[in-house]
A and B are shown apart, each in its own frame.
Chain A
């Protein structure tokens, strides 16, 4: 699988410059006390990884990869591992930058706030990955974009209609109750989400014909 991961990471190396520029912008804005855009960086890393599907598709890499040893399984697995590696690496750098900004601005490092914020971002990023990847494997990257748009749009519309009628106080109470365990619960949910998403993508790809 290592070879497949290297291939996916090699495909995004031209985007490292873009990420570097975003990190500089984030740092400068942080020093100036402007809006916190740290959430953009991990999200960008997933979006960059999603762009690799287009290149794969253009050169029919998926079909070619099946001709390689264990290609059908490793192709999907590597895409998930490469995305998670990339997202975690970018998040780690962002956390370090945030520590630096916090220290320069306040002479202290607000560990708790920075880590909580980055943890939320990471969870959201993994959510995008878990929803997007099976849809991309099923429909192809072009149709998947439309599919995602329709899902998000549909959820907003349904949510907009239902929200006034829902009593959400029990969720808020539950959150209070679970506060001590929230991070642990979210980590478990994230692991289960990614695992299920991978299994679904793998199943779709295993049955796919080219």
Chain B
């Protein structure tokens, strides 16, 4: 399958944080959820993809092209929503339209105004008069209105109430149905991703700890719930992490089926991405 985004051995060092050989691929037409707790390295990775940070090592290819050598060409086909980075708030959607008409070759003014109408955003109002949800919608439709082949979305739903969040996710869903577009969607709100993402890449402390299809992850991984006696019988190599709560052990296993065949433990729950994150980050080995 053709990859729209390929990241290989991406490293970046700060005084108090390091990206350690981050590698993953996003196949064409797929949605990848990029998850991890705050400060795990999601935004740094996205900034490297977009060359907002530059002094990194490793290789990043987008549409098969080098992201530094062919930067201008690549960015014609990328739409971005970045956490807290946008047009100055004294501008209006009309100003955004006239600006981006002169920036993107494929800017679609009609599409932009249709979206504004659909989401009841007034074209001549300053961005600062919009609520947080309205502002986010504006950021998203700005990212969509030049028919990008790749959307890079950094925390597009963070800070939104559930209704606004659902509306925002609906915009993506509709867009994907219309255009053959790939999406890299970073979020720590994992419930948004469970139904939408084809792939999940999980980053922790600057390191990718897994990158799999969502189905594989949700179907294969499981949480074994057992008492201390049963837990002691489990071989260390048969689980990834565990947590001890007041009454039981929660044990993260990579393959429910294999585990069930080996151990006689009745309760193996399906995993959610939230469970996975909590156990991978907070669990013991």
Query: B75 touching A67 by the CB < 8 A rule?
Result: yes
Contact of A3 among B51, B55, B89, B102 (CB under 8 A): B102
Residues of the B chain whose Cβ atoms lie less than 8 Å from the Cβ of A72 = 51
Chain A interface residue count, Cβ-Cβ cutoff 8 angstroms: 30
Asked whether any CB of chain B lies closer than 8 Å to the CB of A7, the reply is yes
Residues of the A chain whose Cβ atoms lie less than 8 Å from the Cβ of B85 = 59-61, 63-64, 67, 210
Provided the pairs A3-B102, A10-B95, A69-B75 are in contact, do residues A209 and B55 lie with their beta carbons within 8 angstroms?
A: yes
Residues of the B chain whose Cβ atoms lie less than 8 Å from the Cβ of A59 = 85-89
Residues of the B chain whose Cβ atoms lie less than 8 Å from the Cβ of A209 = 52-55
Provided the pairs A67-B50, A69-B76, A209-B54 are in contact, do residues A61 and B103 lie with their beta carbons within 8 angstroms?
A: no
Question: CA separation between A2 and B80, bound complex, in Å?
Answer: 21
Asked whether any CB of chain B lies closer than 8 Å to the CB of A4, the reply is yes
Name the prevailing secondary structure of the B interface residues. Answer: loop
Query: A14 touching B90 by the CB < 8 A rule?
Result: yes
Q: How far is the CB of A82 from chain B (nearest CB, A)?
A: 12
Residues of the A chain whose Cβ atoms lie less than 8 Å from the Cβ of B87 = 7, 59, 61, 64
* Chain B residues numbered 85-100 whose CB sits less than 8 Å from any CB in chain A: 85-92, 95, 98-100
* Chain A residues numbered 15-42 whose CB sits less than 8 Å from any CB in chain B: none
Residues of chain A having any CB pair with chain B under 8 Å: 1-7, 10-11, 14, 52, 55-56, 58-61, 63-64, 66-72, 74, 207, 209-210
26 pairs from A and B in contact (CB 8 Å cutoff): A1-B102, A3-B102, A4-B99, A4-B103, A6-B95, A6-B98, A11-B95, A55-B89, A59-B85, A60-B82, A61-B87, A63-B47, A63-B82, A63-B85, A64-B80, A66-B50, A67-B75, A67-B85, A67-B152, A68-B75, A69-B75, A69-B76, A69-B104, A70-B75, A210-B52, A210-B85
